[in-house]
Structure 1
Amino acid sequence: MYSLMVQEDTSDARIWHHDFGTGTWSVVATVNDSRAESSGIVDASDWFGSGAWILDVQGGPGVLSETGPDTGVTSKLSAGQLLLMKIPGS
């Protein structure tokens, strides 16, 4: 089976699956934090079996609280995760 995964990075980031056999599109995953974004998806079936995909999700920005005297520095941080996703039949 031939398929394509497309990441849509908007305020409601989603991952779409296109099945070339049927010509259909379907949403297979969503990012549930509007500040987060998904980027980069790679077919990982050679390493993890049929339907395996590796993708990256970056968390929304946060502000690191500084302790002690006022340094005039604001630190921003962003969390990220590398995920393994299994979609049967993809």
Structure 2
Amino acid sequence: MMQVDRNDIWFNLQQVERGISGNVGKASRVASRVPYNTFSFFDDPTESEIEKSRSNEANLNNIRREINRSEKVLKQKMDDCGAFIIQK
């Protein structure tokens, strides 16, 4: 059986935490970008195009909420892991 010391565990947790921050941050930045407006000032969009645009906006909002929710869950799990290591 292999033994792992506290420093190894701490280092691994730090790597996981950096991965979470980097990837969640990147996902947040990408999701917060404003989509390119395909309707120009002179175009007259059809009802179908307007509905698709609204649907896409709603989907983007759902994705943004899911990213925020995931970030909170991951941060809580990291805090729990850190607390567990401190107790040992």
* TM-score where L is the length of structure 1: 0.25
Query: Which of 1 and 2 has greater Rg?
Result: 2
Q: Which has the larger helix fraction? A: 2
Greater fraction strand = 1
